Amino acid sequence: MHAAIAQRHGRALRYPADVSPFMALPSQPDGDDWRNLAQLVRGGDVTFFAPPEHIPRHWEKVLELDGMQMVDTGVGPADEEGIVALGPDDVPEMLDLAARTKPGPFLPGTIRLGTYLGIREEGALVAMAGERFRFPGGTEISAVCTSAERRGHGLAARLIRVLSARIREGGDLPFLHVVAANRGAIRLYEALGFATRTDTTVVGLRYRGPTLPSPL
């Protein structure tokens, strides 16, 4: 679904570095695939949602985060009142909110991946959530965050209900990923009507091999 955004070298795929740190390889990658990926990332780190079983020579694991994928099993009705669409002009404020709240990777170009919605109070962005991964039949809700001093007032819940309703109206199943240690967020998602579908592991790798020419 993000084929127009993806950068590709052979069978290795990545989002542009300013959009998302995630990459993809075939489920059984061969040596060429790994070399192509090393060329695509040019020494930068690689992040996988479905980590390959075998990590080859020249690659070092630098991150491993356990979590879960949750799916909408009946999120309740949405109220669009007070919810604003966020666009490119809002990105500096979104980056600031994400830097303060750490909902997961949010980069200057992440907004290209889908709809992003926010709640403003006295002009200031205090909460946001948006869409990230997509595949036929599914759209992920991501970058869910509320400024620390405004938590516990249902702002994230309102944003998630609106996003979920819009995604379902578009014919997709809303889903999301959460780190297992984030008990508060998991409680909120369960209260809203999300249920765990599967456990997930995010793995980050760093290429430590010889320098390869960039294919881009």
Q: Which residues of this protein are in contact with ligand COA, per CB under 6 A? A: 101-104, 127, 144-146, 151-157, 178, 182, 184-185, 187-188, 191
CB of 216 to ligand COA, least distance (A): 31
CB of 132 to ligand COA, least distance (A): 11
Residue number of the CB closest to ligand COA reads: 154
Residue closer to ligand COA by CB (options 23, 128) is 128
Residue closer to ligand COA by CB (options 100, 208) is 100
Is the CA virtual torsion 46, 196, 154, 132 positive or negative? Answer: positive
Reading the block at residue 184, the tokens are 């508060």
Residue closer to ligand COA by CB (options 23, 159) is 159
CB of 98 to ligand COA, least distance (A): 9
CB of 185 to ligand COA, least distance (A): 4
Residue closer to ligand COA by CB (options 104, 118) is 104
Residue closer to ligand COA by CB (options 57, 102) is 102
Residue closer to ligand COA by CB (options 151, 168) is 151
CB of 158 to ligand COA, least distance (A): 7
Distances (CA, A) of 202 to 21, 57, 112, 128, 194: 11, 20, 22, 23, 20
CB of 118 to ligand COA, least distance (A): 12
